Chain A
Amino acid sequence: MSQPSTEQVWEELNRVMDPEIPVVSLVELGIVREVGYEGEQLVVTLTPTFAGCPALEVMKTAVLERMRELGLGSVLLRTVLSPPWTTDWIVPEARRKLKAFGLAPPALHGGDVEILFAEQAACPYCDSDDTVLKNSFGPTPCRAIYFCNSCRQPFEQFKPL
């Protein structure tokens, strides 16, 4: 059996969803950094989102499983820290999916997240900017908790990093 092309591998990886936010894939989130063959072996390079996020281990298992389904027995997963993962890498389509899922997508910051500290996330339900940050920390490391004063709903934001 011939090896799947790297394009095919990317396509398959785009079907591996984030375990906590199952509407967006690891590719769309920018977690998959590189795909390539080193000799016969496929090497998939991943980067962690938040350092302590336990989802990374679940993601690795899911990637290996999907690669096995593709007929690839020998797969090496490599983890890189640099450049550090940023929410700026989340593709526009995934931002729309996050919003539809009820998570306010992270604003772009170009590398300095502190420029966003004075801004409020727009409500994903009614688009109002009249919202207030209730907690920088939420049910997962990547989420903050807000309240919308317009539609009187609490909501979560995908925290800019």
Chain B
Amino acid sequence: MNTGTAGALAAYLLGLADDELILAHRDSEWTGHAPILEEDIAFSNLALDELGHAGLWYAAHAELLGENPQTRPDELAFLREPADFRNVQMVELPNGDWAFSMLRQYLFDAAEMVRLEALVNSRHKPTAETAAKIRQEERYHLRHTAAWVRRLGLGTEESHRRMQAALEMLFPYAEQLFQPQDGQAGLVDQGYIPSEQATVADWRGRVRQDLEGADLRLPEAAESPAASRAAHSEHLAQLLSEMQVVARSDRGAAW
């Protein structure tokens, strides 16, 4: 692999890793606050899983760039500025209500599953192996969140209303997950990653089925709020200031 390709693939993997990390942090905010104990446990587990997935993608990213896969992930998570993060805005939005958090997790899980099913065939072996590892766990996520989408969509008038409102808000944001980034076209041509057109089409088909089965109406296709993963809302800086404060106040501390 030449340096240009390695750099482009590393940038792509950084996006995946940052999505996982930031969503993991938002999920962890439900610990101690979820509406029922079982869901408190579930969301804490989802957070831990996504954090683990972020770690794997950060390590793969670091190796592509010739950096240390043991130490680089922590630096990327705790020592970067908001402008250097490449997560989509959907995952940095505040948790909102239970419907919003659950639907966001579902839309993300479904997108991740579609992507992983393609990435297991990546020409880049570490990417393919990491995707295969993560896919196993994501099956549990998707089963869980799809069941909740159904439960809330078909539940009470209020749960349905909140889900529909969450969907109106989140659907345009979700589109950003499939925005091709600079340098990505070459990766697709060479068989490293799937094309975003194929991924988004597959994702729309799957979520349409689940959402309509939950009596939820898909919003009209809307423009994603941002095309570039370098653009963030003010929420990311607030999230990072909390997430990074301990690591930054005592750099290199041993636990």
Contacts and interface: CB of A to CB of B under 8 A. Distances in A.
A139 B45 CA distance: 8
B241 interface: no
Given A81-B129, A117-B143, A159-B140, A135 B49 contact: no
A4 B210 CA distance: 57
A135 B43 CA distance: 11
A68 to B, nearest CB: 19
B158 interface: no
Contact of B52 (A51, A82, A159): A51
Closest 6 CB pairs of A and B: A52-B52, A51-B52, A137-B45, A82-B129, A137-B42, A52-B48
A51 B133 contact: yes
Nearest to B69: A79
Q: Which of A51, A53, A83, A86 lies at the interface centre, i.e. has the most chain B CB atoms within 10 A of its CB?
A: A51
A160 to B, nearest CB: 10
A84 B136 contact: yes
Interface of A: 48, 50-54, 81-84, 86, 113-114, 117, 134-139, 141, 145, 159, 161
B139 interface: yes
B130 A81 contact: yes
Given A84-B133, A135-B41, A141-B45, A52 B139 contact: no
Contact of A51 (B49, B126, B143, B144): B49
A52 B129 CA distance: 16
6 contacts: A50-B137, A52-B50, A81-B130, A84-B132, A137-B140, A161-B136
B49 A141 contact: yes
A83 to B, nearest CB: 8
Given A52-B50, A137-B42, A139-B41, A113 B129 contact: no
Nearest to A86: B136
Contact of A52 (B42, B53, B130, B144): B53
B138 to A, nearest CB: 10
Interface residues of B, number: 26
Given A50-B137, A52-B50, A137 B144 contact: yes
A53 B51 CA distance: 10
B51 A135 contact: no
Interface in B127-171: 129-130, 132-134, 136-137, 139-140, 143-144
A94 B55 CA distance: 29
B139 A114 contact: yes
A84 B137 CA distance: 11
A16 to B, nearest CB: 21
A51 to B, nearest CB: 3
B41 A51 contact: no
Contacts of B42: 135-137
B41 A81 contact: no
Contacts of B41: 135, 137-139, 145
A41 B190 CA distance: 39
